[in-house]
A and B are shown apart, each in its own frame.
Chain A
Amino acid sequence: MPPLTTSPALSVRGLTKSFGPQIVLDGIDLDVHAGEVVSILGANGSGKSTALRCISGLTKFDAGTVSVGGREVRSGERVPEFAMVFQKIYLVPRLSVLENVCAGALGRLSFWQAWMPRVFPDEVREEAMGCLDRVGLATRAHDRAGRLSGGQQQRAAVARALCQRASVLLADEPVSALDPAAAEQVMRLLRSLADEDAIAVACVLHQPDLARRHSDRVVGLISGRVTLDTTPAALTDANVDALYAPDYITEGGLI
């Protein structure tokens, strides 16, 4: 169980975001502690991905606060503590796996320390090897990233996040493009990062089953509001149906 006595690694209060007239996030509160995996469930358009993008600084938010380790982060500010993992993985396919992982360190390197992928400093390359070993891909370091299977690529993307030395991992549907076996492997990896490396993991999922088995807490979003915050054990099928119900209503009762 997460150490609830400490202050959360990631703390979000009243996060609000609109795109034009459309309110996407309507005051979201979210805490993720070090060593905790929090799954975020919700229908398409409920604001899950936007929430992660606002936290990581890829998208600016309108109001509310985001704090990491007790320090407040400005809207649109990108800090090394937050690492993002994407549904579409976003490795550079033509670069080697190792070079992709080294890229996680770019935030703490000057331009001339790594002006092209081949010239990362040795200590970064060695640290990246350590990260690759952590995700079980040390033997594939020099392969082109595009040659790996989807599951391996997503693990390499997690290694890139580790090489960033992030304390909070924001995973946006990390397993939606993977087959069940690869998805299971990636979720176990995220779980072990929380357990063994005390990383705080916030993970958007579409699979209630994976959320039940791998997370400490499940948060549900409907129309940009947190409507559910519970333990996996207490997550009922009725809860899940309620999260995905708005789809049926807006689309005219289709089931």
Chain B
Amino acid sequence: MSATMDARPGRRLPVPPRPRTVGSLATMAVVIAVVVGLHVVAVHETQFSLTELVSGWRGIWHFLFGAPATATIKASAGALPPDLSWHIVGPGLYQCLVTFSMGLLGTTLSIPFALALAYLGARTTSKNIVVYQLARGLMSFLRSVPAFVWGLIYVTAVGLGAFPGVLAIITHNMGVMGKLWSEAMEETDRGPLEALRSAGASSAQTATHAVLPSVIPQFTSLFLYRVDVNVRDSLTLGVVGAGGIGFVLTQAIQEFQFNVMMTYVLMVMVMVIALDLLSAWLRRRIAQ
């Protein structure tokens, strides 16, 4: 950065004062007051307390390294070290496969429904405002109910197991993926679409000939992302009785076998990281 040329400073002029409307400072003050107030209420309502966390160290110690039996509670094994014996790890691997299968199947089987909802719920493709609003509303409903609540509903219908888990993922995911896909379609360049429309193509034709071909990369990328998320969701589905690694993990906690629980937590961690890396790598390949 040596100045070989004479980089002389330019002429200076005073900077005029920044125009500021009278209301803007007052508005800012009100906004800050409201935000701070909401946080005060939130701290109070959640009984957020760092002192309690510190004074509860004994519980954390017992959880990590085990607790002796008391009159009311039986002795528990601590989370450390995890139980890495094969009769725990072997079934754990199988349950991981179940969890992965639930996430994958749930995402894949929701594709047609998500596609239909995305098509009806994107401004670029949906001409009828009533249909558009209905589709958006349905997608909002499907995704505002968490997958594990869908899981509880399906468990009462078809019983315990991985099958209600798959149904729950399908139901929740068609709302989420439909929304993500419809937004991808709305963000595409309208130019090619208008070119085809001026050529006399119907809205369904512009969708299949202009919109869909341009959004295939985004669709695939969002799909991979959803597989990733849904496998993690299937984990919590196990907690409500829908099978998989989440189910045996809950069992271990209920039986105070924290060392077994730790083994499953580690396996989940490995699976989630592996899946995340795989999905990120695939998405990068697609983006190129």
Contacts and interface: CB of A to CB of B under 8 A. Distances in A.
A127 B7 contact: no
A98 B4 CA distance: 27
A131 B10 contact: yes
A130 B8 CA distance: 13
A51 interface: no
Given A141-B15, A141-B16, A162 B4 contact: no
Q: How large is the interface on A (under 10, 10 to 19, 20 to 34, 35 or more residues)?
A: 20 to 34
A98 B14 CA distance: 12
Interface stretch (A11-19, A39-47, A64-72, A170-178): A64-72
Nearest to A159: B10
A68 B5 contact: yes
B5 A107 contact: no
Given A127-B10, A130-B10, A163-B10, A68 B15 contact: no
Contacts of A123: 9, 12
Contacts of B13: 126, 129-130, 132-133, 138
B10 A69 contact: no
Interface string A141-171: 1100000000000000000001101010000
Contacts of A68: 4-5
A22 to B, nearest CB: 19
A125 interface: yes
A167 B3 CA distance: 11
Contact of B5 (A69, A130, A131, A142): A69
Contacts of A132: 13
A32 to B, nearest CB: 13
Contacts of B4: 68-71, 81
- The residue in A71, A107, A122, A129 that gathers the most chain B C-beta atoms within 10 A of its C-beta is A129
B1 interface: yes
A122 B15 CA distance: 8
Interface in A37-84: 68-71, 79-81
Contacts of A133: 11, 13
A163 B10 CA distance: 7
Given A79-B1, A80-B1, A107-B1, A165 B14 contact: no
A142 B18 contact: yes
Interface in B3-42: 3-5, 7-16, 18-19
Contacts of B3: 80
A165 B7 contact: yes
Contacts of A130: 10-13
B25 to A, nearest CB: 16
B5 A126 contact: no
A107 B3 CA distance: 12
Contacts of B9: 123, 127, 165
A131 B3 CA distance: 20
6 contacts: A9-B5, A81-B5, A98-B15, A125-B15, A129-B13, A129-B14
